Structure 1
Amino acid sequence: MPRPGAFHRSRLLRLLVLPVLPLLVLASALTAPTGAVAADSKYGYSRYDQWSWLTTHNSYASGNAGSPMNPDQSETIKQQLEGGVRALMLDTYDPNGNGPVEMCHGSNLFCYDDFKVALLTIVNFLKKNPQEVVTVFLENYASQETLTRDITNMLNASGGSKYLFNQNKYGIFSNNWPRLRDMVADDQRLVIFQDSWDDTALGSGTLMNTWTHTVENKYGYGIKGTPNGCAVRDHSQPLNTKTMPGTKGLTPLFTMNQFNSDEIDPAPSAPRDNGSALKKRIETCKDVAERVPNFVAVNFYQVSDRSGITPMSAVDDLNIAGYVYPPDPAVWVVNGKQYRSTVGSNRCMVRGDEFSDGSGGLVTQRACADPVPSSHQWTATKPDYDGKGYYWIKAGNGTCLTVPYNNGTPPGNGTQLFWWPCETKNFSGSQLWNVMPNDAGRSYYFVNQWTGKCLALDPATATAKAGKVVQAACPSR
């Protein structure tokens, strides 16, 4: 398909310029459908450490629990789970010295309920919601014997023992955290941490130690203070720890505390903490920890001081932006200047044969090469004019990745792309691409401004010496 002259391109794009495609349009809602495919669509290829979870501080301390202490939440644990909370912070005590374990606030003088009641609530939620994963953090003051006995008895009696996560099943200290969809398929959907002793086997699962698996920031910031900075909490490894000490490959989970335990009554400050300040704190902690938080812990999770921003929406935004797509013809690993497909067998995007008139050439796929020759090199660069946030994808010879003109009609899926001189005077959507990071920037997909289609490897020709690189549907959830 020959390219038009500058006049034709300019006229076409005055008629067919498309708006910037926001990520929210390309990603579906985060509500969980049912069935085996649902875990793939909800979590994609994300590992447990690559997802973010709304977390409630002192989850048991709700306003209707009858304690004289000021509450930290206004809903019961059951209501919190139904409202989208997926991680709970519980304080466990043994007021009687031999059980039952109770959930208390500050000391064993102010207790709310038996821990087994909360655990049964969680198990029942998991039974009704087979795609969901719930994490529990225990700030524990009970003995190891009493706590493990109560948990064992309750899980066995409720049929919930099968849900308890077993770190040895996945070899996390060498292999890192499992993918969430695998945890769902294996029914390993109840993750429990405790801060009192080393990892403890419990039936077929594990009570994991908080400080050998997670990092945290400080939660207090003074009476009438405002949350800022991201200092590391005592007992925690530095927030930017990449691999937990003593392991070969375990990425620490990052808990970002966004509440003030210095205040006697946390309710008045919760709206302020959960709105604008929360978004700011996430950005600050992202810079310090060099990653997004896995657990965003707040008081009164439903309230905020800013319309459109809640703890739930903030967590959803993190999961939308960091969503990890499974291997897909439209998802590419960018290794230096080499674009490597996530499907096929070691296939890279290559500048292929030149057209007979010397005007440009085809874009193909071949086996990746090391060192990377010029014909395999591509870079995303800003155009010489205002591309409104879009990029050229430039070949090693300085030309641009281009969608065929197709007589002015946006071509469909399967259209082979080509390399062509970059337009420096006229805005040409066929040469502009929205660069969408995936997997925390370890891979990408690229959306053409004109057609709304994605740069993709053609699976049908992936075994050919010079297969096709085409535009196709963007990865879907």
Structure 2
Amino acid sequence: MPRPASHHAGVRSRRRARPLVGLITVCAALGAALLTPGAAGASGSRNEDAYRDLGSVTRLDWMANIASDTSLAAMSLPGTHDTLAIHGGASAQTQEDFGDNGKTLKAQLEHGIRAIDIRVRISGAEDFTIHHGVVYQNANFGDVLNEARAFLKKHPSETVVMRLKAECPFKDVKAFDCANDPKSMTPEDARNIFGHYVSRNSDLFYSPSVTGAGRAPVPRLKDVRGKVVLGSFDGVNSDSYGIETFNKNQEDHWTADPVQKKWDYVKENVDKAVADDKNEMYVTYTSASDGVKRLPFEYAGGYWQEQGGVRTEVQGVNYRLMKYLNGGDSGRVGTVMMDFPGWALVDNIISRNNGHIPKGGGNRAIWLVNSDKTYVNSQYKRCMVRGPEFDSSKTGGLITQRECQSKAPGSHQWGAEKPTSFESNGYFWIKSSNGKCLTVPYNNGTPPAAGTQLFWWDCETRWFSGSQMWNVVPTKIGSVEDSKKSYRFINNWTGLCLSMDPATASATGGKVTQDTCPK
């Protein structure tokens, strides 16, 4: 085997220009993993794709293919802020109007929305009506529960996360505030009224979230399919409802001005959600309004401004978020509560759950990472191995595979490691136990084709060398009800995935290669 050119691991021209989304830690053996766009997801190009148009295509059962053991905190959920605010003019309306009595909620659920924000006023000391400030939204809490029940009965694979808020202050009611009926109502009264709704709809709610005895641990999808999960019940002087961390990692600067500042807040929280691997909820409200200067539809959909006789367009938060997420299909963004969402923005958020869709029995470009630091091919069940040296210098050699052993030798052990001598932009070395790096051959500076066997080689520590930098994307294999966490390893230079050669898959010393990444 000829020795590769000595400069192959350090050619700066191989730094592949590719947008990076964020970073998550995955496990001790693996190190850390960057979640960047893999196969292109849904995307939109116009403001109308992100704003005030949920589209004609329904998204009725998009959770059906998500692995049931997926934590709700690991998912990306499109939601609506002030879900039923369709009346009261431009200063109060936050959603596309599909009709009164809960019909707007019905349309949202059918178009993929899975997180809702319900604002209630006490009426007649025993019921909840839906309000945005002083404006009654021609719907009652019973309408919300009826529409949720009807939808979940038809689509039992789904779940709906509800943020509930007592809209009217119990003290110091101001001119623009709604008032409970009667005004003597207390937070305890609101909690008791909610308890009556729960008792009449006990089969609809995820029970641990509505007991009022303390926040429930974040559930798995299998525990809440067909249920309404209470995320929190705000404004009632109690932190004993909902699920843990729902209000912890939250962005809700609702008076942020200008739009750019609000977008900065939104982007920051979304990036934090991508970067954090803890089992915690992230909730981002993209909505804002100061009630006078800029209204909800302007923050969401943008507006035109004129300065010095020059008219320019200010892009809304919805469009900016849609473009930011375009093409990505991995990296949870958490629960995103939006004003006037458009179809492409909803699709982009849903597509972030693709890593939780099991890929069947395995794929040669998907790998399991075990606690003993072995990388096991999910299709052929064989271990990646640091193979024979090119020569006596032991500078490098071939990457091969063989049957896994009960006690893994050093040549079978690997780990993801972030370089410290240069900015890696979230990419990682995949290092063998001897400190050498998984490397795509130099090939005279031309990215080699799919099927090329990989090398182990001295790690380039002076600069970013794309042939040694890998993006590690979590995915799952198995079935919806029986899945295993696994990974795609995508090379920065070639955009191809760590794989195995089918022709030598059963042979000891068979080739470990790069190949087209599975979707």
**Larger RCO: 1 or 2 (CA < 8 Å, sep 6+):** 2
Q: Is the 8 A contact 1:329 1:341 kept in 2?
A: no
Segments of structure 2 that go 5 or more residues without pairing to the other structure are 22-35, 44-56, 98-103, 167-189, 210-214, 289-295, 303-313, 333-351, 476-484
Give the equivalent residue in structure 1 for 2:219.
Answer: 177
Greater percentage in helix: 1
TM-score between the two structures when normalised by the length of structure 1: 0.59
Give the equivalent residue in structure 2 for 1:472.
Answer: 515
- When residues 195 and 475 of structure 1 are mapped into structure 2, their CA distance, relative to the original with a 3 A threshold, is same
Q: Is the 8 A contact 2:82 2:119 kept in 1?
A: yes
Mapped to 2, the partners of 1:470 and 1:456 lie a distance apart of 5
Query: Residue 351 in 1 paired to residue 386 in 2?
Result: yes
- When residues 93 and 342 of structure 1 are mapped into structure 2, their CA distance, relative to the original with a 3 A threshold, is farther
What SS does the corresponding residue of 1:117 show, helix, strand or coil? helix
What SS does the corresponding residue of 2:495 show, helix, strand or coil? coil
Give the equivalent residue in structure 2 for 1:135.
Answer: 161
- When residues 392 and 291 of structure 1 are mapped into structure 2, their CA distance, relative to the original with a 3 A threshold, is same
Segments of structure 1 that go 5 or more residues without pairing to the other structure are 153-160, 197-208, 218-238, 240-253, 261-265
Q: Is the 8 A contact 2:39 2:329 kept in 1?
A: no
Give the equivalent residue in structure 2 for 1:258.
Answer: 252
Give the equivalent residue in structure 2 for 1:436.
Answer: 472
Query: Residue 191 in 1 paired to residue 189 in 2?
Result: no
What SS does the corresponding residue of 1:214 show, helix, strand or coil? coil
The code of the aligned residue for 1:49 comes to A
Mapped to 2, the partners of 1:427 and 1:145 lie a distance apart of 58
Question: What is the RMSD of the two structures over their aligned residues, measured on CA atoms?
Answer: 5.5
Give the equivalent residue in structure 2 for 1:28.
Answer: 40
Query: Residue 213 in 1 paired to residue 243 in 2?
Result: yes
Give the equivalent residue in structure 2 for 1:88.
Answer: 116
TM-score between the two structures when normalised by the length of structure 2: 0.55
The code of the aligned residue for 2:92 comes to P
Deviations 1:351-408 (A, max 9, x none): 1234577662333254266576355244545497887875543333343323346688
Give the equivalent residue in structure 1 for 2:85.
Answer: 61
Q: CA deviation at 1:465?
A: 5.5
Give the equivalent residue in structure 2 for 1:19.
Answer: 17
Q: CA deviation at 1:135?
A: 1.8
Seq. identity, %: 26
Match of 2:401 among 351, 364, 374: 364
- When residues 315 and 340 of structure 1 are mapped into structure 2, their CA distance, relative to the original with a 3 A threshold, is same
Mapped to 2, the partners of 1:137 and 1:276 lie a distance apart of 24
- When residues 20 and 178 of structure 1 are mapped into structure 2, their CA distance, relative to the original with a 3 A threshold, is same
Q: CA deviation at 1:295?
A: 2.9
- When residues 74 and 271 of structure 1 are mapped into structure 2, their CA distance, relative to the original with a 3 A threshold, is farther
Match of 1:307 among 303, 312, 315: 315
Mapped to 1, the partners of 2:286 and 2:273 lie a distance apart of 15
Q: Is the 8 A contact 1:433 1:449 kept in 2?
A: yes
The code of the aligned residue for 2:267 comes to K
Deviations 1:17-51 (A, max 9, x none): 753465665243258997989854x7898432201
- When residues 295 and 475 of structure 1 are mapped into structure 2, their CA distance, relative to the original with a 3 A threshold, is farther
Mapped to 2, the partners of 1:174 and 1:412 lie a distance apart of 50
Q: Work out the number of aligned pairs and report it.
A: 395
Query: Residue 48 in 1 paired to residue 72 in 2?
Result: yes
Q: Is the 8 A contact 2:401 2:510 kept in 1?
A: yes
Match of 2:197 among 138, 141, 147: 147
Query: Residue 280 in 1 paired to residue 268 in 2?
Result: yes
Q: CA deviation at 1:125?
A: 6.0
Q: CA deviation at 1:471?
A: 1.5
Give the equivalent residue in structure 2 for 1:156.
Answer: none
Q: CA deviation at 1:194?
A: 6.5
The code of the aligned residue for 2:436 comes to T
